[in-house]
Structure 1
Amino acid sequence: MKELLIMAKSLGGGGSEVALIELINALPEELYNITLVLLDSDNEYAYRLKKKVNIVQLTFNNSFAKSLVSMYAFPAKVLKKLSINSFIPYYDFVSNCVTNVFEKTYDIAIDFYGYGSFVTAFLATKIRAKKKATWLHDEKIYWMKSVQKYLCKYDKVYGVSQAVVDVFCREYPHYKDKTEVFYNVIDIEEIKRKSEQDELIPFKEKFNIVTVGRLTEQKGYDIAIEAASILKNKKINFAWYAIGSGRDEEKLKELVKKYCLEDQFVFLGRKDNPYPYMKHCNLYVQPSRHEGYGLTILEARVVGLPIVVSNIRPLTEQIQDGINRYVAELSAEALADKIEYLYNNPSQMEKTVDYLKEHPIDFSTELLKLENI
């Protein structure tokens, strides 16, 4: 049995945390003894873990060091003023303030959090392992500069899509030989089972659209709301549901009021089980500005939903436009036009659903990548 250590920020938050849990659940128990080391105590998604995992909370000998464990502890305007080398001294300082003792030599140690965080530095310098890997979750990799000093300590750099890997290799070509795609895995049968559970779904007798994700600029909800305004002006009988929470929630609700869309664009909040909501909609739309891979797209594929995505590479990797999915340029007008086309052509959406049923998703080759390193 292999000793596997995984470091992450927490068990609560967004898509990367869900991807972490799904990866752990997919790893064979007879092959891996897993230790999960977390920075934060947020364990909102801990109930999704299906196997025994040794969870260790990282502790520090002073509160100041604890406050520095994440880049996000600083306001954005402060981060912009910091030089790249500003991160390295405080990452090294904070690593020396950790009170946990890791005496074991692990077979594999994974920095799953990534994002140029303290975790990347700590695992590189303080964890003993025969092999080490770090993860890239987004095609925007400006934050890698803050940990570039530590990348030489890693045997593998995994990107969650080919688009992410290509961006990284352009910026860091000397690491190309140890960089590889590792697609996020999900429990397909569990999603199907959960999609059948009873939920009090407030859907109306309309063309129902759903988007799942954090209420942030990255996910493009503002573009979705503008597209909804165009659809309303075209007298299309629709309702658009947003599942998620986030820092832009109030701003987005104000935008809905501005366009008088209270009856058309509905915020459902965060849902532990979004799959029945997805299953009972007609269309899934993801208008993201940037992504790593798009986990919710994968989930919508499992549920069997026709999907419209913005034309960005990490999302179009999963897409054969007009066959298993539809692509729109990242603008309210283009998004509204694509939705209107599908609204007026239900037979086209039926063909998409049939294609999804005939082409199941398989993750078996992804899990072998850990064995191969």
Structure 2
Amino acid sequence: MKELLIMAKSLGGGGSEVALIELINALPEEHYNVTLVLLDLDSEYAYRLKKRVNIVQLTFNSSFAKSLVSMYAFPAKVLKKLSVNYYIPYYDFIASRVTNVFEKTYDIAIDFYGYGSFVTAFLATKIQAKKKATWLHDEKLYWLKSVQKYLCKYDKVYGVSQAVVDAFCREYPHYKDKAAVFYNVIDIEEIKRKAEQDEVVPFRDVFNIVTVGRLTEQKGYDIAVKAANILKKKKIDFAWYAIGGGRDEEKLKKLVEEYHLENQFVFLGRKDNPYPYMKHCDLYVQPSRHEGYVITLVEARALCLPIVSSDIPSAREQIQDGINGYVAELSAEALADKIEYLYHNPLQRQKTVAYLKEHPIDFSKELLKLETI
């Protein structure tokens, strides 16, 4: 039995938190005794955790110290301008204010959150482990400079896609030997099971498009709205459903009103189970500006959906254009053109669906990488 410690921000937020839970769920209980250390209390996705895990929340002897490393301590507008990494020089000081005592030496310690956070610094300096690994979730690595001095403490630097690893090796070539790909592990059968659950799916008798993801600039919803406006002008009979919540919700709704798309672009909010909506759509679209490893594309592939994704490096690792999906340049015009093409060519959509059914996703090799750290 190996003692495994995993540190993360919380059990709520976005794709990286879902990926964390899926990884824990996939770990064989007879091989790993898991301790999960969290910085914040947010437990939005805790219901997805199926394994017995010892959960520990970091506590501080100073509320001020805690506020310096908590994304929830500042308004969203301030965070956008400064970023949470603004307080990085104080990480060593803040670590000395943590009241938890970790006396055990773990077999493996994982900083799953990454993103230049306090978690990376704390695990590097305060956790005793035979081997340590940190995760990179996005190909945009500007935040990594904030914790680069701690990278020498890690035995492995895992990127969730080859695109992420390539970006890391370009930026930090002296750590190239530590870098490797570790794809996010997703429970494919669970996705299929949830897709069959009874949900009231409000689709109309039109061409129904679905996008799932946080309502943030990264996910490209503003581009999707502009593409929808082009489709409307071309008399395409469609409805586009956005599933998710986020800080840009009001801004995006105003953009929809500006283009008079209230009947075509519909915000459904966050859904614990988005899979019935995905399963019944005519087309799944992912217009992200950048990603590490697009979990929603994995989910769409698992459900054998026709897919259009923005043409970013990490999406290219999953989508072979014209074979198991389609990629489009990240612009409203290119996205609208691809959607219009698939709207008028149902046989092309059927071909991609057939290919996905014949080539199921297999993540069995990923967990073996923990054994080789």
Place the TM-score, normalised by the shorter chain, in its bin.
Answer: over 0.9
State the TM-score, normalized to the length of structure 2: 0.97
Give me the whole-angstrom Cα distance separating, in 1, the residues matched to 2:369 and 2:73. Answer: 34
**Structural mapping, 1:1-373, within 5 Å:** 1-70=1-70, 73=73, 75-76=78-79, 79=82, 87-88=88-89, 90-373=90-373
Give me the whole-angstrom Cα distance separating, in 2, the residues matched to 1:87 and 1:263. Answer: 45
Paired residues of 1:70 and 1:117 also in contact (CA < 8 A): no
Output the amino acid matched with 1:79.
L
Paired residues of 1:159 and 1:183 also in contact (CA < 8 A): yes
Task: State the secondary structure of the residue aligned to 1:291.
Answer: coil
Task: State the secondary structure of the residue aligned to 1:59.
Answer: coil
Give me the whole-angstrom Cα distance separating, in 2, the residues matched to 1:143 and 1:109. Answer: 21
Cα distance change on mapping 1:194 and 1:77 into 2, 3 Å = closer
Superposed CA offset, 1:167-224 (max 9, x none): 1111100100010000001001100000000101110001000000000000000000
Give me the whole-angstrom Cα distance separating, in 1, the residues matched to 2:239 and 2:289. Answer: 22
Cα distance change on mapping 1:142 and 1:273 into 2, 3 Å = same
Question: Structure 1: which 5+ residue stretches go unaligned?
Answer: none
Superposed CA offset, 1:115-153 (max 9, x none): 000000000000000000000000111000110110000
Q: In angstroms, what is the RMSD of aligned CA positions? A: 1.4
Paired residues of 1:6 and 1:35 also in contact (CA < 8 A): yes
Task: State the secondary structure of the residue aligned to 2:366.
Answer: helix
Give me the whole-angstrom Cα distance separating, in 2, the residues matched to 1:311 and 1:82. Answer: 29
Cα distance change on mapping 1:105 and 1:281 into 2, 3 Å = same
State the TM-score, normalized to the length of structure 1: 0.97
Task: State the secondary structure of the residue aligned to 1:43.
Answer: coil
Output the amino acid matched with 2:58.
L
Return the offset for 1:319.
Answer: 1.0
Superposed CA offset, 1:215-272 (max 9, x none): 0000000000000000001111100000000000000000000000000000000000
Paired residues of 1:71 and 1:117 also in contact (CA < 8 A): no
Task: State the secondary structure of the residue aligned to 2:288.
Answer: coil
Question: Structure 2: which 5+ residue stretches go unaligned?
Answer: none
Give me the whole-angstrom Cα distance separating, in 2, the residues matched to 1:41 and 1:47. Answer: 14
Task: State the secondary structure of the residue aligned to 1:336.
Answer: helix
Paired residues of 1:304 and 1:357 also in contact (CA < 8 A): yes
Output the amino acid matched with 1:176.
K
Give me the whole-angstrom Cα distance separating, in 2, the residues matched to 1:81 and 1:186. Answer: 28
Give me the whole-angstrom Cα distance separating, in 2, the residues matched to 1:213 and 1:272. Answer: 12
Give me the whole-angstrom Cα distance separating, in 2, the residues matched to 1:351 and 1:359. Answer: 12
Task: State the secondary structure of the residue aligned to 1:365.
Answer: coil
Output the amino acid matched with 1:103.
E
Output the amino acid matched with 2:180.
E
Output the amino acid matched with 1:262.
E
Give me the whole-angstrom Cα distance separating, in 2, the residues matched to 1:82 and 1:120. Answer: 12
Question: Number of matched residues?
Answer: 370
Return the offset for 1:79.
Answer: 3.0
Output the amino acid matched with 2:178.
K
